[in-house]
Structure formats: C-alpha cells, structure tokens
Structure 1
Amino acid sequence: MAHQKREVTSNGDEGWASKRPKGVDTAAEKDHILKSDASQETNGEKGQMGDACRKEGTVLANTCASDEKAATNSNASSEQEVILTCIEADAAEDKGCRHTMEDAWVLLPDASMESPGNLRCAHFAIYDGHGGRLAAEYAQKHLHQNVIAAGLPRFRKTDEFLLQESTKGNWQDGATAVCVWVLGQTVVVANAGDAKAVLARSTSTDGEGVVEGTKSQLKAIVLTREHKAIFPQERARIQKAGGSVGPNGRLQGRIEVSRALGDRQFKKVGLIATPDVHSFELTKKDQFIILGCDGLWGVFGPGDAVEFVQNQLKETSSATLAVRRLVKEAVRERRCKDNCTAVLIVFKH
C-alpha cells in the first residue's frame, strides 16, 4: 500500500514526498514509565492481543461520530470512559546525516478497509531499518495484513516469512518496530527493539482542555520497553541461546538491539522478533501518542518531546505541522545524526 507523507528535509524545506519511508530520560520521566508485562512468547503473545482484537468498536480517523450517537454512547459510559470521535495523525521523516533513509512508517486510519471481516481499527507503525531498508519495507507492507488475517500480534509470523525472503534474496538487514492499534477505545502497543511509543496524559483532575488550555499539564508515559543486548535480561537470554555480548554492548560485537525483524545471521545466536505488548483503555485524559525511531529519542527525552508537541498543537491545532516541526527540531536544531522518523496520533474526545 502506498502512503503519502509530508517530509521535513535537512535544509528546512517542508514539502511532499512519496512513500518509500525508513534515550535520554530524566529521573522524573522515568517515574512515568509504564511497565509492560514480560515479553509474550508464542501462545502468550497471541492471547493478550487476541483479547483486544475481539473487542467490538469502530474507530474512524478524521471522520467524527454524529452528535446523536456520541451523546447516546456517552450516557451509557462510566465516568472514566469516553467516546473517541476522531483521530488525527501524520508522519514526518528526515534522513539526517545518513546517506540513505532506512526507516519505513505506516498510517492506516481505517486499517481494515482492504480486509474481510468485522474488525475495524486504526494502525500506526514505524519500522527502523539497519543495514538496509528491505526488512523495514517488508514489515511495512505485510505485518498488518498478517494481523488482520490471523490476530494480533504477528511479529513472529511476519519474521518467519521475512527470513524466507531474505534467504532467497541474500538480504542481511533488519528492522526494529513500534506499532499501535486502536480498537474501539482500546490501544494496543507492540515493540521489538529500541523504537519508542510515548503517551501524553493530562494530570488535571477533569482531563478537559488539555491541548488547548493554557494551564494544562501533560505527563509523558513510555509505553514500550527497549530491547538492547547489554540489558541483563536480554544478555542472559542471548547467552543461553549460544550468543555473546561484546565489550561494546553489542550482540556478537556487531548489533546493539536484541530484538528485531530480519537480521537472519543473528537469529541463531539470540536475536528474536518477539515483541513486548501492552494495552490500555483510552480516557479523556489521553491526548496524543508519539511514535519515534531511536534517532528521535537520541535527542529528545519523552517529557521533552511531549512538551514540544503540546506547544505546537496549541499554536497550530495541526498534527501534520506538529510532527513536521518535531522532526525538524530533532535534525536541524538538536543535530540528530541518525535517520529520524516520527508518527503523531492525536485523540479527539
């Protein structure tokens, strides 16, 4: 599926480009990190996401529910529940100082339009390629199709098919991933590698007027867990699989992440594609989610990024402009050296 994007270029020009898309946390920000469950292996990963997948509900991005329907649903809701009427989302990317762009991204406001069945959802993702962009592009094209066909998440199945293709084509590259599905009022987040999803949640008691109110405060909640070979839990699993972590903290001394799609040469020494999965129910306090590759989070802390986006939304009321300016700030002002890609998902309550 071809996606169109607005691209932020290194020279500051903001124009249109076609698809072919490729942390430093403060102590206060770490307090806001939302701990996910342990990684879901095989049947475990399938069960948690399958429950969310079966939830009834419709998410229509940029197509607001009728006032009558919203009022009816609102009367039936509890105090903490809220009817999600709109999602506004966009993506931006810049290759930074790299010669090529190896990231890919997905914006599917209605993610079931091309699939049979009754599942209606929205899907957003970033696939951060390394050593090339073939794995990222493969995941961009196939992962959600596998999800629709067989249930959430399908990182492992997608990885199996990707490895078959990479063997045929002698691909050596891989891609980390961060994905979000919005199913009715349920948000499901899955990640493998070091890309992050960060939720902006109001700290006010009523949650009203968060983006537009001048006195509103948002906290940053990290919805994902990084997977790096140097981390004790990941290191132990790698060593058990017969791999090693070098003095530089890299798997076999070469690759920093411990989970990714592709990278077939590392799959026998501990690198896996199993994601961490987390889900939660939206309330009116939840304002937006930022998805970013490690390039973005190398120059932005979670709280810093949330504050920056909040200010842009107050000024422009536009997810498109906010995400473009976020990437421009990362590359031009904060000197991000890596590919930099971000997806901004704004919830309209």
Structure 2
Amino acid sequence: MAHQKREGSSTDDDCASKRLKGSDTASETGCNVEASVSQEIDAEATRTCQRESEVPSNKCVSDGKSAVDSNVSGEQKMVLTAVEADAAEDKGCRHTMEDAWVVLPNAGVEYPGSLRCAHFAIFDGHGGRLAADYAQKHLHQNVIAAGLPRELMDVKAAKKAIIEGFRRTDESLLQESTKGNWQDGATAVCVWILGQMVVVANAGDAKAVLARSISTDGEGVVDETKSQLKAIVLTREHKAIFPQERSRIQKAGGSVGSNGRLQGRIEVSRAFGDRQFKKVGLISTPDVHSFELTKKDHFIILGCDGLWGVFGPSDAVEFVQNQLKETSSASLAVRRLVKEAVRERRCKDNCTAVLIVFKH
C-alpha cells in the first residue's frame, strides 16, 4: 500500500472566521447540522447495508499525523491547538480491497493561503477500485481549483467550490472510464477543516459522525473525564429506495426495482463514476453540511458502509471515546475500531475508518 507522507503544521492566526451553518446540494437548500436536525439524519444512519464488490488493493494518501495549529478566541469557540488524524482499513471477507482514503492535516501546504486547510476522505469503490483511486487523487485539487477559500472564510464560496469540485472530478473520471472502457464507481465522504470551520460533503452511503459533549464542569468548560458524548450524524445517505431519491431517479428516466436498487442493480443513488447509470438518475452531487467547532466537539469518525453496517453512530462514538481514554492515540483508536468491526462484529464488507481528533 502506498502512502504519501508530508510532515508539518500550519497556522491560521490571521484567519477571520464566520459561523458556518446549513446543508447544500447544487441547489443550496438549507439544512442545519446541529443536533436537532441531525436526529432526522440519524434515523437513516442506523440502517445497515452490505454492498457486494470485488476489487483489488487499497490506495491511501496521507501527510502523516501532523498537527494543525491555530489560535482562536471566544467564549464558546474551540481553541484548537492541533488536529490528530489517522485511518485504518481491513478488507473483511472480501478477496480484494476497494476503499481509498485521504488523511491530509496539512492539505493547504501546496496551496498558499493564511486560512488553515485540512482534508480527510474515504472513497468506497464498487465494481472496481479505479473510481475510488481517481477521486482520491483528484477531488481535493479540483475543489481548490474551483475556489475553496484560502484567505478569509466564505461559507457560500466553500460550499460552491466543493460541489463544483465533485462535478469536475466526476466529469473527468467519466471521460477516463470511457477511454479505458471501465465502469467502476465510488461513494464518498469528505471533511475539510477551514480555520475553525468544518465542512462535510458526501455522496452515497458513507457517513461522518461527530462526537460532541453534552455535559460540562459547571463553568461552561468541558471535563473530558466526566462528559458524555452524543453522536451527531453529519451526513445524509443517498439510496435509490429513499422517496426523494426515487422521485429524482424516475424524473431522470430511471427506475427503482422491487429490490430497492437503481435499475434493479445498484443500491446507492449518488456516486462518482458508474457511467452506465449516469443517464438514468445516478448523480455525483454531494450534500454539503457545515458548522463551527466549539469546545464541546471532540472527534469525527468517517466510515464506509462496511463500518456502519456493524456499528451504530452512538456505539462507534462510545467505543472510540473509551479507546482514546485508554491510549490517547488516534492511530491506535481507529485501528481498534476497525479490528472490532471485522474480527469481533463480523463485518463482511471492506471496512475503512478515518478518525479526526480535535485537541484543545
């Protein structure tokens, strides 16, 4: 497995931050990511799904478990001193590994700007590994090129750049797949940390879950040894069987079979690639959610559908919290999470997780 390592940290002392709220697709419809709205998403998040896929070798991109430095003032704002992140994977019962992942705590190092930028992602391939590998290599570059803010935070510009970056990546991927005569696809869940803001984008059934404290020491300061963590699902699944997605597919000329699959064949309704389904309703347009970090936010778990098939969001948060109390290591915690999913809970699919821990 190939890793690209870049060590280092970046500061954003000059960053001007604004509060990020909402959810956007290409039409930029609003949806707050705070707990009240996430409860609706959480209902879908507990559903399990096992997708059948057969593809070789996993690829990953990482610049190491680098710290991302910043200084932010404000009573409720999180004083983020570092971000520690790592990924773990296991092919499960599959013969091959299809997932690709990205861990770039210093994602802005090649794109100068005063605004800190970190990027994390999982691409869950199906029908082959090529779409996952392609998205891993090109999505972040395309999002930057589409105008991801590098100086001052601009919520609308960030969301617009991410949506456009997904579009450009899928467009060029489809061209490559046509030339190479392959039909691989990949779902995606991605996080960008811009200054003190988190922007989450997903297409398909991979999920992101935030661990947020629900108790304090009485003075508004979170006591990590006493606090309970609530799991907040930050993503919305896209499956052909869901009414909104089914309606969109039918308007595009496609159909959803009695098995709940697009054209009777594919469970997800949004993904990169899958060119054979692009004319019948499958799209790559992501849902985009955003929020500002606070002192109550501890970590985010990204996982492919294999992980969430055996872990509920609250279950995963509790497991990771216990591991972090024991080891204080994101690397060990995420490896144990995946090991638990595959070896103890018998995940049959490829299983990949990225753990992003906020230090404050």
Q: Does 2:67 match 1:63?
A: yes
The residue aligned with 1:121 is 117
The residue aligned with 1:37 is 23
Question: Of the candidates 245, 248, 252, which is equivalent to residue 237 of structure 1?
Answer: 248
Shift, 1:38, TM fit: 5.5
Shift, 1:81, TM fit: 1.1
Question: Of the candidates 173, 187, 190, which is equivalent to residue 179 of structure 1?
Answer: 190
- Structure 1 pair 230–64 and aligned structure 2 pair: CA distance change class (3 A): closer
Shift, 1:86, TM fit: 0.2
Question: Of the candidates 79, 82, 92, which is equivalent to residue 83 of structure 1?
Answer: 79
Q: TM-score, normalised by structure 2?
A: 0.78
Question: C-alpha distance in 2, partners of 1:304/1:239?
Answer: 36
SS in 2 for 1:254: coil
Shift, 1:37, TM fit: 3.3
The residue aligned with 1:149 is 145
Gaps of 5+ in 1: 6-34, 46-59
* CA offsets 1:142-194 (integer angstroms, 9 cap, x no match): 00011111222011111001000000001111000000000110000000000
Question: C-alpha distance in 2, partners of 1:245/1:207?
Answer: 50
Question: C-alpha distance in 1, partners of 2:249/2:256?
Answer: 8
The residue aligned with 1:139 is 135
Question: C-alpha distance in 2, partners of 1:185/1:37?
Answer: 17
State whether residues 36 and 223 of structure 1, in contact with CA within 8 Å, keep that contact through their aligned partners in structure 2.
no
* CA offsets 1:73-113 (integer angstroms, 9 cap, x no match): 4xxx3211122110000000000000110000001111021
**Aligned-partner residue type, residue 40 of structure 1:** A
Question: Of the candidates 296, 301, 326, which is equivalent to residue 312 of structure 2?
Answer: 301
SS in 2 for 1:199: strand
Question: C-alpha distance in 1, partners of 2:68/2:108?
Answer: 18
Q: TM-score, normalised by structure 1?
A: 0.80
Moved over 3 A (4+): 35-38, 60-65, 116-120
- Structure 1 pair 304–340 and aligned structure 2 pair: CA distance change class (3 A): same
SS in 2 for 1:84: coil
Q: CA RMSD in A?
A: 2.1
State whether residues 24 and 289 of structure 2, in contact with CA within 8 Å, keep that contact through their aligned partners in structure 1.
no
State whether residues 115 and 195 of structure 2, in contact with CA within 8 Å, keep that contact through their aligned partners in structure 1.
no
The residue aligned with 2:3 is 3
- Structure 1 pair 260–169 and aligned structure 2 pair: CA distance change class (3 A): same
For 1:223-234, list aligned pairs within 5 A: 223-234=234-245
The residue aligned with 1:201 is 212
Question: C-alpha distance in 2, partners of 1:135/1:2?
Answer: 17
- Structure 1 pair 317–128 and aligned structure 2 pair: CA distance change class (3 A): same
Question: C-alpha distance in 2, partners of 1:179/1:280?
Answer: 14
Question: C-alpha distance in 2, partners of 1:307/1:156?
Answer: 36
Question: C-alpha distance in 1, partners of 2:65/2:292?
Answer: 17
Question: C-alpha distance in 2, partners of 1:2/1:143?
Answer: 18
State whether residues 90 and 338 of structure 2, in contact with CA within 8 Å, keep that contact through their aligned partners in structure 1.
yes
The residue aligned with 1:266 is 277
SS in 2 for 1:303: helix
- Structure 1 pair 80–117 and aligned structure 2 pair: CA distance change class (3 A): closer
Question: Of the candidates 103, 108, 124, which is equivalent to residue 107 of structure 1?
Answer: 103
**Aligned-partner residue type, residue 165 of structure 1:** E
**Aligned-partner residue type, residue 25 of structure 2:** S
The residue aligned with 1:94 is 90
The residue aligned with 2:59 is none
The residue aligned with 2:13 is none
State whether residues 177 and 260 of structure 1, in contact with CA within 8 Å, keep that contact through their aligned partners in structure 2.
yes
Q: Does 2:350 match 1:339?
A: yes
Question: C-alpha distance in 1, partners of 2:285/2:116?
Answer: 25
State whether residues 61 and 110 of structure 1, in contact with CA within 8 Å, keep that contact through their aligned partners in structure 2.
no
Question: C-alpha distance in 1, partners of 2:259/2:221?
Answer: 45
Higher alpha-carbon deviation: 115-124 or 176-185:
115-124
- Structure 1 pair 36–225 and aligned structure 2 pair: CA distance change class (3 A): farther
The residue aligned with 1:27 is none
SS in 2 for 1:188: strand
SS in 2 for 1:159: helix
State whether residues 36 and 225 of structure 1, in contact with CA within 8 Å, keep that contact through their aligned partners in structure 2.
no
Shift, 1:209, TM fit: 3.0
- Structure 1 pair 325–207 and aligned structure 2 pair: CA distance change class (3 A): farther
Q: Does 2:339 match 1:328?
A: yes
Gaps of 5+ in 2: 6-20, 30-63, 148-160
